[in-house]
Amino acid sequence: MTALPLPSPRKLGLVIDLDTCVGCHACAVACKEWNEQGAFGPLPDQDPYGAEPLGVWFNRVHTYEVAAGNPLPPPTPARAIAPAASAAAAAPAQGMTVHFPRSCLHCEDAACVTVCPTGASYKRASDGIVLVDEDKCIGCKLCAWACPYGAREYSEVRGVMQKCTLCVDRIYNESLDPADRQPACVLACPTRARHFGDLGDPGSEVSRLVAAREGYAPLPELGYRPVNRYLPPRPRRDGAAAADPAAERFDASRLPPLLRWADRLLSR
Partner 1 sequence: MHPALSVVVFTTLSGAGLGVLFLAALLQSLAPLPLSRELAVAPVAVGAALLVAGLGSAFFHLGRPGRAWRAFSQWRTSWLSREAVAATATLGAGAAMAACMWIAPGGTGATTAAIILAGCSVATVYATACIYTSLRTIPAWHNAWVAPTFLLAAGLSGAAVFWLLLSFAFWRPGRAEGLVFALAAVGFALAKVGYWRHIDRHGAKLDTGAVTGLARFGSVRPAEAPHTEANFLLREMGFVLARRHARRLRPCAVVLCGVAPAVGGLLAFAGLGGTAVAATATLSLLAGLLVERWLFFAQARHVVVAYYR
Nearer to partner 1, 98 or 211 (CB): 98
Q: Can you name the residues that pair with 53 across neighbouring β-strands?
A: none
Q: What is the CB-side half-sphere exposure of residue 64 using CA atoms within 13 A?
A: 11
Distance CA(100)–CA(203), nearest Å, equals: 26
Please, which of residues 174-203 interact with partner 1 by CB under 8 A?
Answer: none
| Strands of 165-218, DSSP E | 194-198
User: Cβ 63 to partner 1, closest distance in Å?
Assistant: 4
The answer to whether 9 contacts partner 1 (rule: CB under 8 A) is no
Distance CA(60)–CA(185), nearest Å, equals: 11
Taking only Cα atoms into account, the Rg of the chain, rounded to an integer number of angstroms, comes to 24
The answer to whether 93 contacts ligand SF4 (rule: CB under 6 A) is no
- Contacting ligand SF4 (CB under 6 A), which of 104, 131, 189, 210? 104
**Would strands 194-198 and 160-163 be described as parallel, antiparallel, or unpaired?**
unpaired
The answer to whether 58 contacts partner 1 (rule: CB under 8 A) is no
> Which of the listed partners (partner 1, ligand SF4, none) does 110 bind, with a CB threshold of 5 to 8 Å by partner kind?
ligand SF4
Distance CA(123)–CA(35), nearest Å, equals: 19
> Which of the listed partners (partner 1, ligand SF4, none) does 122 bind, with a CB threshold of 5 to 8 Å by partner kind?
none
Q: Are 104 and 149 in contact (CB under 8 A)?
A: yes
CA angle 108, 112, 117 (to 5 degrees): 125
- Contacting partner 1 (CB under 8 A), which of 44, 53, 83, 190? 53
Nearer to partner 1, 8 or 74 (CB): 74
The answer to whether 130 contacts partner 1 (rule: CB under 8 A) is no
Nearer to partner 1, 37 or 97 (CB): 97
The answer to whether 102 contacts partner 1 (rule: CB under 8 A) is yes
User: Cβ 230 to partner 1, closest distance in Å?
Assistant: 7
Distance CA(87)–CA(74), nearest Å, equals: 10
* Positions in the binding site for ligand SF4 (CB under 6 A): 104-107, 110, 112, 115-118, 120-121, 130, 132, 137-143, 147, 149, 151-152, 161, 163, 224, 226
